[in-house]
């Protein structure tokens, strides 16, 4: 992070989308550490023992679908063998949030009904998502969409979180390229916060906060249908958002053409991140709208994809306050990534 | 985590204090990992090169105070050499939250005025907080209080976050036992959320949610003035809260007698945690009320100390949704810690 000008004063910023405060503090980047840097990750490169490799399908939890539907698949959507939520519990259809029962004084409880799926993005152990063609990445995105469309049929599912963990420090336990989809019987807190914040912006300005982002300083790359930025109040150094240019409330409004376009931009951004930041562990998350959304919510709710390279850990301050400390200003990060040439 | 009965179904719980949803899922504890377990931490044990050791005071940022005030100090409060916020920026006294300026469409910004202090808890490199006597831990707590009382004089400081990082995976960059105090020109988001949630509980039940916690199943240990529990919707396995028995809105209401009592309970809990969980990295955070608080907020705002052993990482699901997945139910964690004998 020697790239950050050392002279900028610290600043607190709050994002109109996430409603989160972030402390920008270039001085923090210079502090020394008593602890040795992280040892290189030692993933399992033995594809015979990897359940996600082609040929090892029998080692996996049941398949939901594969693309194409023959033995020579290019991607598979399967059940998670160690699911956080259970598809076997009773799920009172049509239940709403208020049905959660309160235990006297202790808190609220809801049965852990839900779906937890794994998307195996490639049959080959050594291939990473960014190695795929734009249209193959598009196929992965369309697989998310297809699975969302299946799950939407369950009235008791309120929100579907799509996410990817790449590398051990990003939380991954499997090294074979994959992502996950966790379908929840509640709308999670950061989604409610985001929707409330975007609503507040809309009521005040008459505009959707993501349609309105038009800062040249924060722009990284754009295509005809999507653009990528370092967000104004990035919680993490080199955090990146990819946003559909046209207003769209739900990720599953994506069509095949847009999926290829997004696939190309995602590939470029992941390549740039790997090049600039030395192949960092990373997470990406799709931020969409709750499954059931009223018409009045549609004008201010705009989906996007968030990418977070894992460069710094967090500590007690972040755990306690919910604020992050970011040593890199987003316009510096955007400039570096914008000007980077991918060979 | 072989201690968790494997048969419990997953459950979602929401805490009336934090207002956070947590997924309890014992099945998750059993998933395998492709990545080697973390390499043992290799802290700097060379006290001649540690600025926090006695004799190396000249290597540190300026001192604020020491206890006792002579060369043979037992603890020191100093400025952080790489502060997240700057005490040198202009700080318009008496400013309130609404004074933050909004940049057109991008978000809000506030100058990064604030104090970032380090509390060196012992002069000796090899001594940990839990090695100190209850009264010496009490001295550390009283040092927090004394520093809070100084900082309260600045009208533009809205909240003071006291926290401790122990061990590299808990974020620590220094291995010499220490904690930190970051004084902010805003009330951070998780504090507002907590206060709103406690207010809602108070309005509904007429009672403070922390005065009301009376669950035998969640109790770990208690003293005449404090009790410790595994909270009903613990975000992390073996998360522990220490709560003052008598209603108290601000940590700095602590007196010397209570500080020694809390020091003893904190020591016991840290010892139990180290014994049961193999000396894990951990964070603790003091959750108190904003510096300026109105009388009407006082009846529902009750401070507590939260301890989080770092046993599991987080991934894209938590980053995206703000929900945590916890493989250990709190009544199981409480039972194990309650029944543990410390030699
Ligand atoms: N044979 C098999 N068939 C089907 N599924 C199999 C399988 N073998 C393993 N799996 C599943 O594959 C998934 C791989 O997921 P990741 O590597 O992205 O991270 P994981 O979910 O373990 O945890 C990370 O992400 C979660 C969610 O963010 C965090 O809670 C956690 O702390 C972090 O480590 C696991 O969920 C595992 O249960
Ligand atoms: N000679 C000296 N004099 C005075 N101060 C000195 C000093 N040398 C070092 N320091 C300061 O001492 C502090 C030690 O703090 P910790 O070890 O608890 O974690 P740190 O703040 O580095 O970051 C962790 O905690 C923060 C806050 O939670 C997270 O943002 C971050 O990711 C995580 O690694 C550092 O803040 C450092 O700036």
Residue numbers belonging to the annotated binding site of A for Zn(2+): 50, 53, 125, 176
pLDDT score at A60: 96
C-alpha distances in angstroms, A40 versus A43, A71, A169, A279? 9, 35, 10, 12
Ligand 2, pocket-test mutation among B173, B177, B281, most atoms within 8 A of CB? B173
Per-residue pLDDT of A95-154, as tens digits, reads: 444 445 656 568 889 999 999 999 999 999 999 999 999 999 999 999 999 999 999 999
A178 flagged as catalytic: yes
Taking an 8 Å cut-off on Cβ atoms, the answer to whether A105 and B209 are in contact is yes
- Candidate CATH numbers 1.10.3720.10, 3.40.50.300, 3.40.50.150, 3.30.428.10; the one for domain A11-28+47-87+110-339: 3.30.428.10
pLDDT of residue A41: 56
Cβ contacts of B329 on chain A, cutoff 8 Å: none
Size of interface A-B (CB pairs under 8 A): 290
Do the Cβ atoms of A321 and B188 come within 8 Å?
Answer: yes
pTM: 0.94
Residue of B nearest to A115 (CA): B10
Whether pLDDT at B44 is above 80:
no
Mean pLDDT of chain A: 90
pLDDT, tens digit, 9 for 90 and up, residues B116-149:
999 999 999 999 999 999 999 999 999 999 999 9
pLDDT value for B43: 64
Instruction: Among B317, B326, B327, name the best residue to mutate to test ligand 1's pocket (greatest count of ligand atoms within 8 A of Cβ).
Output: B317
Closest-approach residue (CA) in chain A for B235: A319
Give residue B213's pLDDT: 84
Structure-model confidence comparison of residues A276 and B294, the more confident one: A276
d(CA B133, CA A205): 58
CB contact under 8 A, A232 and B106: yes
CA angle in degrees (0–180, nearest 5) for B29-B34-B35: 95
- B208 labelled binding-site residue: no
Neighbours of A285 (CB within 10 A): 23
The answer to whether B60 is a known ligand-binding residue is no
pLDDT digits (tens, 9 = 90+) for A6-59: 568 899 999 989 989 999 998 888 888 777 555 445 566 777 789 999 999 999
Ligand nearest to the CA of residue B56, numbered in listed order: 2
B62 or B298, greater pLDDT? B62
User: Could you write out the three-class secondary structure of chain B?
Assistant: CCCCCCCCCCEEEECCCCCCEEEECHHHHHCCCCCCCCCCCCCCCCHHHCCCCCCCHHHCCCEEEEECCCCCCCEEEEECCCCCCECCCCCCCCCCHHHCEEECCCEEEEECECEEEEEECCCCCCCCHHHCCHHHHHHHHHHHHHHHHHHCCCCCCCEEEEEEEECHHHCCCCCCCEEEEEEECCCCHHHHHHHHHHHHHHHHHCCCHHHHCCCHHHEEEECCCEEEECCCCCCCCCCEEEEECCCCCCHHHCCHHHHHHHHHHHHHHHHHHHHHHCCCCEEEEEECCCCCCCHHHCCCCCCEEEEEECCCCCCHHHHHHCCEEECCCHHHHHHHHHHCCCC
B290 vs B249: CA distance, rounded Å: 9
8 Å CB contact between A13 and B107: yes
Are A213 and A18 within 8 A, CB to CB?
no
Mutation target vs B (from A163, A320, A326, A327; most B CBs, 10 A cutoff) = A320
The model's confidence at residue B266, banded by pLDDT at 50, 70 and 90, is very high
Query: What's the confidence (pLDDT) of residue A295?
Result: 77
Read off the pLDDT of each residue in A214-238 and give the average, rounded to a whole number: 95
B209 CB neighbours in chain A (<8 A) are: 105
Class of domain B11-29+47-88+110-339: alpha beta
- In this predicted structure, the answer to whether residue B244 has a pLDDT above a threshold of 70 is yes
């Amino acid at each position: 992070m020697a790239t950050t000008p050392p002279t900028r004063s610290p600043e607190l910023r709050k994002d109109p989308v996430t409603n989160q405060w972030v402390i920008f503090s270039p001085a923090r980047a210079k502090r020394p550490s008593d602890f040795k840097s992280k040892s290189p990750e030692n993933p399992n490169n033995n594809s015979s023992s990897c359940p996600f490799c082609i040929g090892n399908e029998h080692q996996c939890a049941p398949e939901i679908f594969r693309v194409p539907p023959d033995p020579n698949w290019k991607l598979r959507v399967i059940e998670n063998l160690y699911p956080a939520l259970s598809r076997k519990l009773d799920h009172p259809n049509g239940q709403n949030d208020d049905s959660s029962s309160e235990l006297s004084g202790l808190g609220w409880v809801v049965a852990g009904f839900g779906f937890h799926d794994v998307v195996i993005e490639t049959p080959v152990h050594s291939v990473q998502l960014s190695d795929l063609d734009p249209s193959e990445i598009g196929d992965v995105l369309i697989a998310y969409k297809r699975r969302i469309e299946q799950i939407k049929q369950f009235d008791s599912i309120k929100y579907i979180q799509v996410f990817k963990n790449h590398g051990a420090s990003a939380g991954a336990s499997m090294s074979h390229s994959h992502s996950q989809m966790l379908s929840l019987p509640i709308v999670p807190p950061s989604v409610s916060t985001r929707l409330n914040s975007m609503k507040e912006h809309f009521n005040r300005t008459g505009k959707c906060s993501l349609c309105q982002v038009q800062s040249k300083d924060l722009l990284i790359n754009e295509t005809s249908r999507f653009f990528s930025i370092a967000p104004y109040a990035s919680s993490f150094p080199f955090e990146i958002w990819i946003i559909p240019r046209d207003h769209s409330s739900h990720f599953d409004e994506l069509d095949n053409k847009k999926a290829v376009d997004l696939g190309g931009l995602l590939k470029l951004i992941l390549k740039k991140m790997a090049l600039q930041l030395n192949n960092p562990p990373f997470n990406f998350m799709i931020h969409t709208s709750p499954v059931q959304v009223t018409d009045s919510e549609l004008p201010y709710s705009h989906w996007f994809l968030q990418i977070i390279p894992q460069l710094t850990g967090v500590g007690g301050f972040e755990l306690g306050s919910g604020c992050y400390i970011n040593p890199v200003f987003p316009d510096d990060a955007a400039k570096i990534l914008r000007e980077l040439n991918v060979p």
